[in-house]
Amino acid sequence: MTDSIPRYSGDDPEALEAKYAAERARRMVAGRGEIHDLAGDERFARYRADPWTAFQDREPVTREVDVAIVGAGMGGLVVAARLREQGVDRIAMVDEAGGFGGTWYWNRYPGVMCDIESTIYLPMLEEMDYVPKHRYAFGEEIRTYFESIAEKYDLHPGALFHTRVERTEWRDDDAHWRVTTDRGDTIRARFVILAVGFLNRMKLPALPGMEDFRGPSFHTARWDYEITGGSPASSGHLERLEGKRVGIIGTGASAVQCVPPLAKSCEQLFVFQRTPSAIGVRDNRPTDPGIASSRHPGWQAERMDNFASIMLALPATEDVIDDGWTRNYAPLLTPRVDFSLPLEEIARQIDAVDHGVMDAHRERVDEIVRDPAKAEILKPYYRYLCKRPLFHDEYLPAIDRPNVTLVDCPAGVERITETGLVVNGDAYDVDVLVYATGFEGEATPIDRKLGHPVVGRRDTELGEKWRDGVRSLHGVVSRGFPNLFLMPAPYQQAVVTVTHTHITVEGAAHIAETIGALAARSVRSFEVSESAENAWVEQIVAARVDGMPFLASCTPSRFNFEGDPAQSNPMNGSFGGSAGDLFGYRALLAAWREKGDFEGFELEFD
Ligand code: NDP
C-alpha cells in the first residue's frame, strides 16, 4: 500500500466497528426513504417551478429530424456535438428546463460548484479551446460553458425548452420514432437518444405537515433568490436574509456548499443533520497556468485516462490530479493489496486503510471545530465508501459559528409545522426553510427517470421490459427498441466512472459514430438480436462482485438502498463487475465499431 494513505492508528478496531454499528442502528428507521412524489402530487408542484427562465407560450411544432435527443444536459450536449461532427444536420433536443445544462441549469444555489477537478469534469475542453478558471469550477462557469458548446455546435435552433416529452413511440410502417410533448409538438425522428441523466429528479422527504409551513420554503435545486437576495453570479452574500432565522434540512453535497453563504448572511441558521458527511480538503485555487501553456493534442483525454487509471489501480507513472479522490477514494475503490494473501489478512489491510482515512476526517473536524459538542455530532462513523465523500474548506468553520445551531437528528426531521420544524420532540421556529434533500439516485427505474413511456416494437414499454432488471447490449441499446440509444449511466450495464463526464464522452462518441456508420450504410433500422442481448446480460451478471456484506454494514444511503442492499439487482451491474472496467469497455466498443458489421444488430435497409 502507498505510504501517503493514512492508516488506522487507533488501538481498538473492534470498538470502532461497534461504534459504526451503533451509529448505523440509530439511522435505520422505518420509512427513512419515503418521499413526496413531486411528479404526481400537485400539492408540491410549486417546488418544481423554474426560477430561472420565464415560461413563454408558443405554437406546437411538427418537425422531421435525423436524431431527437431527450435531455439537454451534459449528455445531450456532448452527443449532439459529436453528431454534428458526423455530419448530422437535423437534430432536435427536448428538455423541461428553460435552457441547456441539465443539473447545472437547475442547481444555482449559492456556493454551487463541482468537486471533481474542472479539467476532467468539463467535457470537450480541447475542442472548445477552453481552460477552466479554477481547479474546481463554480456552477455558473459550468452552465455558461455548456451554453457555449450549444452555441458552437449550433444546437439552439433545434432545442425545445420548457417542454416535457409525453411519449416516445416507434412506428414500423415508416421506421421512425414519434416524440410527442406536453406543448403539442410532434417530432418524427429516425433515431432517438435518451440523455436524461441519473440524478434528475429532486427528492422531497415525506415529512408530515410540509404544506402547513407559512414561510417560504424551496429545494436547493430551485433556489429562490427573491427570498434570500444575492444571485447565482454574486459572491454569495444573501442580503435579504439579514435578521432572519433559516432552517436547512440535509448535510449532503448541496448543503455543504450552500451552508457557508447561508451562515454568513442570516441571523440564525439551524442545520438539521441526519448523517454527517465525510468532508475532506478541497484546496480550490486558480487553475495552474502550466495547464494552459502545456496543452497539446489529446491533453484532456490523457488527464481523464490518468484519473481513471488511478481509480482502477492501473499502472500510472504519476497522479496528475492528486486530490482527495485519488488519494483516499481510489485505494478503497480498488484496494492496493496482495490478493494472494488469506482473506482475513486482505480484509484487515483494507480496514486499516479505511479506518485511517475516516480517522483523518474525524481529526479534521476536531482541528477546525472549536465547539466540542458540534464536533462530536459532525464526526462520520462509517466506512468511507458507504456514502459519497465531500470536499470543502468553509463548511466546518461555518458550522462552528455562534449563529449556527447543528441539530443531530439521526432518525430524521419529525414533522413540519406552520412555524418551523419538530425534531426529537423539540420545536425550531424558522422564517425560511431550505430542503437540501437531494435527488432520486442511480437505482431509480428507467421509466421514472425518463418521466414518460418509451414504446418500441410489439408495444413493448422500456420501463416494463426492464422491470426485473436491465436488458441491453453494451448498456446503450435494447432489443425491441430499434434506432434507439441510451446514454450510458450507472446501473445500466455499461460502466461507472468517478467523473461521470468520462463515461459520457465515451458513450457519446460510440453512439454518434454508430449513427454515422448506420446512415452511411443506408440502414433503415437496427434492432438488437436476442442472442446478443442475452449474452451481454449473462456477461454482466457473471462479472458481478458481491458487495453485499460491505453494503449491509454501511450506514443507510442511496448506495445500499437505504440500508436494504438485498434490493440490488445483479442485472443492473457494470461491464467488468463492481464499478466496471472502463478501459476494457472502451476497447470493446472501439473494436465493435472498427469491425464495421454491427455485430448483434439485425439490420433492415431502405
Ligand atoms: P444528498 O442525497 O447527498 O443529501 C441529501 C441530504 O438530505 C442528506 O444529508 C440526507 O440525510 C438528508 N435528508 C434526506 N431526507 C431527510 C429527512 N427526512 N430528514 C432529515 N434529513 C434528510 O443530496 P445532494 O443534493 O447533496 O447531492 C446529491 C448528489 O448530487 C451527490 O451525491 C452528488 O453525486 C451530486 N452532487 C455533486 C456535487 C459536486 O460537487 N460534484 C455537488 C452537489 C451534488 P442522509 O445522509 O441521512 O441520507
pLDDT at 565 over 50: yes
Kindly report, residue by residue over 171-228, the tens digit of the pLDDT.
999 999 999 999 999 999 999 999 999 999 999 999 999 999 999 999 999 999 999 9
DSSP state of 442: T
pLDDT at 3 over 70: no
Name the pLDDT band for 1 (thresholds 50, 70, 90).
Answer: very low
pLDDT of residue 48: 94
pLDDT at 7 over 70: no
Instruction: Read off the pLDDT of each residue in 514-536 and give the average, rounded to a whole number.
Output: 98
Ligand 1 centre distance from Cα of residue 436 (Å): 7
**Does the C-beta of 249 come closer than 6 Å to ligand 1?**
yes
Kindly report, residue by residue over 386-432, the tens digit of the pLDDT.
999 999 999 999 999 999 999 999 999 999 999 999 999 999 999 99
Kindly report, residue by residue over 364-379, the tens digit of the pLDDT.
999 999 999 999 999 9
Judge whether 2-37+202-282+341-435 and 62-200+443-527+580-596 match in fold. yes
Which of 442, 430, 131, 448 has the alpha carbon at shortest distance from 300?
A: 131
Which of 438, 320, 323, 319 has the alpha carbon at shortest distance from 391?
A: 323
Name the pLDDT band for 6 (thresholds 50, 70, 90).
Answer: low
**Does the C-beta of 199 come closer than 6 Å to ligand 1?**
yes
Ligand 1 centre distance from Cα of residue 249 (Å): 10
CATH of domain 62-200+443-527+580-596: 3.50.50.60
Q: 299: part of which helix (H) or strand (E)?
A: helix 299-311
pLDDT at 62 over 90: yes
Q: Report the residue among 271, 413, 439 best suited for mutation to probe ligand 1: largest number of ligand atoms under 8 A from its CB.
A: 439
In angstroms, the CA 212 to CA 508 distance is 45
Specify the range with the lowest mean pLDDT, choosing from 86-95, 102-111, 230-239, 298-307: 230-239
Number of continuous H segments (helices) and E segments (strands) in the chain: 21, 24
pLDDT at 2 over 60: no
Ligand 1 centre distance from Cα of residue 409 (Å): 15
pLDDT of residue 32: 93
Q: Report the residue among 249, 258, 377, 428 best suited for mutation to probe ligand 1: largest number of ligand atoms under 8 A from its CB.
A: 249
Ligand 1 centre distance from Cα of residue 111 (Å): 15
**Cell numbers given for 78:** 456532448
Ligand 1 centre distance from Cα of residue 383 (Å): 17
Provide the residue ranges of all domains of the chain, joining segments of one domain with +.
Answer: 2-37+202-282+341-435, 62-200+443-527+580-596
Kindly report, residue by residue over 434-478, the tens digit of the pLDDT.
999 999 999 999 999 999 999 999 999 999 999 999 999 999 999
pLDDT of residue 523: 97
- What value does the mean pLDDT of the chain take? 95
Instruction: Read off the pLDDT of each residue in 39-49 and give the average, rounded to a whole number.
Output: 87
For residues 539 and 44, the model is more confident at: 539
**Does the C-beta of 274 come closer than 6 Å to ligand 1?**
yes
**Which spans in 400-498 are helix H?**
446-450, 462-465
Name the pLDDT band for 4 (thresholds 50, 70, 90).
Answer: low
pLDDT at 245 over 60: yes
Phi/psi for 575 (5° steps) reads -65, 125
**Does the C-beta of 491 come closer than 6 Å to ligand 1?**
no
pLDDT at 566 over 70: yes
Name the pLDDT band for 507 (thresholds 50, 70, 90).
Answer: very high
DSSP state of 113: B
CATH architecture for segment(s) 2-37+202-282+341-435: 3-Layer(bba) Sandwich (3.50)
pLDDT at 5 over 90: no
**Does the C-beta of 256 come closer than 6 Å to ligand 1?**
no
Using DSSP bridges, classify how beta strands 415-416 and 420-423 pair: parallel, antiparallel or unpaired.
antiparallel
Ligand 1 centre distance from Cα of residue 557 (Å): 9
**Does the C-beta of 412 come closer than 6 Å to ligand 1?**
yes
- Which atom of ligand 1 is the closest one to the Cα of 557? 48
In angstroms, the CA 515 to CA 502 distance is 20
**Does the C-beta of 560 come closer than 6 Å to ligand 1?**
no
pLDDT of residue 234: 86
In angstroms, the CA 352 to CA 8 distance is 5
